[in-house]
Structure 1
Amino acid sequence: MSDPLTIPVVVAFNQSYCLPAGVALHSMLTHAAHTYENIPLFYKIHCLVQGVDATHKAKLEQGLASFRDFSSVEFIDIESATSHKPQATSHSVAEKFEILFKSLSPFAQKRFSPLILTRFILPSLFPQYDKIIMCDVDVVFTQDMSASYFALDAESPYYLAAAKEFRRDASVADLIETRQIWAITAGMPTSRHFLSQEQWQIIYKNPFNTGFVVFNLKAWRAHNLEEQCVAFFSQKGHGLFCPEQDTLTLLCHQNILELPSTYNTNPCDFGVKEHSRHQGIKDPKEVIMWHFYSADSDKPWKPENFHTAQIWINALLHTPFAPIYFENYYNWLKDNNLRAHFVRFESLLTKRFLMGYILYKIQRIAKRSWLKFCLWWKLKRLS
């Protein structure tokens, strides 16, 4: 049998995003193809993490253990990942990351994790690869995504491959007005760091979403694109409302391979019957990746959004991470006394899942009891 082809995948998250990361990766591997043109595939998943403790890492590894035959998971703490120098003549990776973080607006620092900036330094972080897939963790996969990796040729002039999101603004003027209102509301500068008319035009015409991207690292290195991103962001980052997305669009728009919209579909868009998204996607079963990129308060793993999170919940129920979510949900219900939400609960909880959850709780109680017994026995022997 031929040696397997490796598809490298990178995700970036902190401890508060461990649950959605687990669901995203589990759904990805559940639907991932095992072969390409009769050659076996192996998915190397690299988790760039910040502040994730050993317990959470172990839970993620255990949750993905059933895919070990064709995948591996590696955790890379961002502090250690940015501590080496790729070249003696350039900034170290740590220096680049520091420059990028300092250029991030205070609003963006509150709204986004600084890990979004790792998109600019992937060539240095992963020198062993010519191509790599990077995706957000607020996503659910319902089809195989491996074809996107092979669609982008490392020898091509394309810097990346991504899908476009739905453009809500009717014109460039509307886009500028919307962003200015957001900026003023957030206390962001709108003069010194704001974009030119030409740059606004580029963003309007190229509404690429960076929630799922195949990066051509070979082309990035050949054209020093990493250094260009750092230089550009150090000048304009303070005024960008969508920091990494706007930067990549402005610097790469002429060299982006457009992926089908099935690689990046927002359930909110698809839920509107008259939405133009239906022109490209006739059936929700065609969607490869659902992306929950609305406001942070609408994220589907937050207990208060249970009633609007059917796609994410359905994916969750197929993972070993479900007990964690429902324990959070139960605690939230106790705190808020919202018994009405149990009506929605009932339709999703199968007998098999409930039995699994009960077994999970019994195992936890038994483990605690056993530890207490062992401690008591040791103390008794010492006395």
Structure 2
Amino acid sequence: MNIVPIVFAFDSNLLYPAHICISSLLMSAKSDTFYDIYILYSTKSGLTDNSLCKILNYYSNCRIQYRLVDNSFDSSFEIRGITTPAYYRLLIPELIPEYDKIIYSDVDVIFRSDLFEIYDSIDLENYYLAGVNSLSHLIPENVKYYEKIGLDAHNIIYSGYLIFNSKKLREEDIVKKFKAMSKNKYKFQDMDIVNIVCKDKIKYISPVFCLTTYISEWNVYNKDVLFEFWDELTISKALSEGIIHYNGQKPWKGLCVNFDIWWEYYRKSPFFDEKFYFDFFYHKLNELDGLSLLKRIKILVRYFVFGRRK
């Protein structure tokens, strides 16, 4: 059996998408992969230790454990509606000492392939962690921001999907540094902290492991910029089977890039609710009926040209 440890951190506001995220992880697993799943939560999160018990009734290729987070981040900086559970990933090396290497993922994600190969093959001996380049240098305001805090925008990784070298992070007491920085008013919160503290000890991995809306957009409108980092085969693989990260608009709230993929996994999950499904699309149809013809055409063009790309 191939064991893959993976961690999620969220509160009750994201419980529903967490159900679908973790269901997609298990649906996409190979027959010999077993996921050792950890949920980080606090007493204020509104979660209980049976919040995901229904998953265990449907899937036998996993174990779910909960780890309680203390008040370390209760006064941490919040912005753009992103709350303190975003910081919980910074505690993983201490909270889960059972593993020397472990995956973290946000829950606004859909998994479309098995994770054992990347987990098993990645060598982090000289690195604190691994992540996917965020292409922050393509946004002028981000370039200025990262210059201000002493980072090169070309080297910034997303924090929504990370592989931690927990052993090295523990040995060098890096979690202490993470905690110390959590009260600073960084624009991108935990993402900035990870990039600052782990600077020069980050391993860059394929966008297969964090296909964001932003990467998808550049693939459509200016693909050449992606070739600075990845070859065409890598990009194609990311689009066809990559982990989709809905880091902008959320598909369970409205229309967005790849929203149809999220709903496809929702329909196949043990949490499918016909009424919720019907109400969502009926409501969206009513919204479309209220739009002008030109706006409807624009939405259809964007969906079929952009949203359907995989």
TM-score (norm 2): 0.78
Q: 1:312 to 1:334 in 2, by over 3 A?
A: closer
Q: Aligned partners of 1:162, 1:26: CA distance in 2, in Å?
A: 23
1:312-368 Cα shifts (integer Å, max 9, x gaps): 1112111122217x4275279579954849xx9xxxxxxxxxxxxxxxxxxxxxxxx
Aligned residues: 281
2:293 matches 1:323: no
What stretches of structure 2 of length at least 5 have no aligned partner?
291-298, 300-310
1:50-91 Cα shifts (integer Å, max 9, x gaps): 20257x71xx322353321x2112234x3xx43xxxxxxxxx
- Letter of the 2:151 counterpart: Q
- 2:295: which partner in 1? none
- Offset at residue 23 of structure 1 (A): 1.0
What RMSD over aligned residues (CA atoms) do the two structures have, in Å? 3.1
- 1:256: which partner in 2? 202
Partner SS, residue 281 of structure 1: helix
Residues 159, 216 of structure 1: 8 Å contact kept: yes
- Letter of the 2:77 counterpart: L
- 2:304: which partner in 1? none
Q: 1:307 to 1:196 in 2, by over 3 A?
A: closer
2:105 matches 1:135: yes
Partner SS, residue 74 of structure 1: strand
- Letter of the 1:299 counterpart: K
Residues 111, 244 of structure 2: 8 Å contact kept: yes
Which stretch shows the higher mean deviation, 263-272 or 207-216? 263-272
Q: Aligned partners of 1:167, 1:200: CA distance in 2, in Å?
A: 14
2:243 matches 1:289: yes
Partner SS, residue 149 of structure 1: helix
Residues 165, 265 of structure 1: 8 Å contact kept: no
2:260 matches 1:310: yes
- 1:275: which partner in 2? 222
Residues 211, 238 of structure 2: 8 Å contact kept: no
Q: Which structure has the bigger radius of gyration? A: 1
- 1:17: which partner in 2? 14
- Offset at residue 146 of structure 1 (A): 2.0
Match of 1:48 among 40, 48, 52: 40
Identity of counterpart residues, as a percentage? 21
- Offset at residue 200 of structure 1 (A): 3.9
- 1:26: which partner in 2? 23
Q: 1:332 to 1:243 in 2, by over 3 A?
A: same
1:86-125 Cα shifts (integer Å, max 9, x gaps): xxxxxxxx4xx1xx432314xx2x6112111112211221
Q: 1:124 to 1:138 in 2, by over 3 A?
A: same
- Offset at residue 20 of structure 1 (A): 0.8
Q: Aligned partners of 1:290, 1:334: CA distance in 2, in Å?
A: 25
1:151-181 Cα shifts (integer Å, max 9, x gaps): 3346x1211111112336355xx4255x5xx
- 1:211: which partner in 2? 160
Q: Aligned partners of 2:288, 2:258: CA distance in 1, in Å?
A: 17
Q: 1:322 to 1:175 in 2, by over 3 A?
A: same
Residues 87, 182 of structure 2: 8 Å contact kept: no
Residues 15, 53 of structure 1: 8 Å contact kept: no
Q: Aligned partners of 1:62, 1:268: CA distance in 2, in Å?
A: 33
Residues 250, 256 of structure 2: 8 Å contact kept: no
Q: Aligned partners of 1:135, 1:51: CA distance in 2, in Å?
A: 20
- Letter of the 1:282 counterpart: S
Q: Aligned partners of 2:164, 2:201: CA distance in 1, in Å?
A: 11
TM-score (norm 1): 0.64
What stretches of structure 1 of length at least 5 have no aligned partner?
36-40, 83-93, 180-194, 345-383
Residues 24, 137 of structure 1: 8 Å contact kept: yes
Q: 1:281 to 1:52 in 2, by over 3 A?
A: same
- Letter of the 1:18 counterpart: L
- Offset at residue 19 of structure 1 (A): 1.4
Greater helix share, structure number: 1
- 2:188: which partner in 1? 242
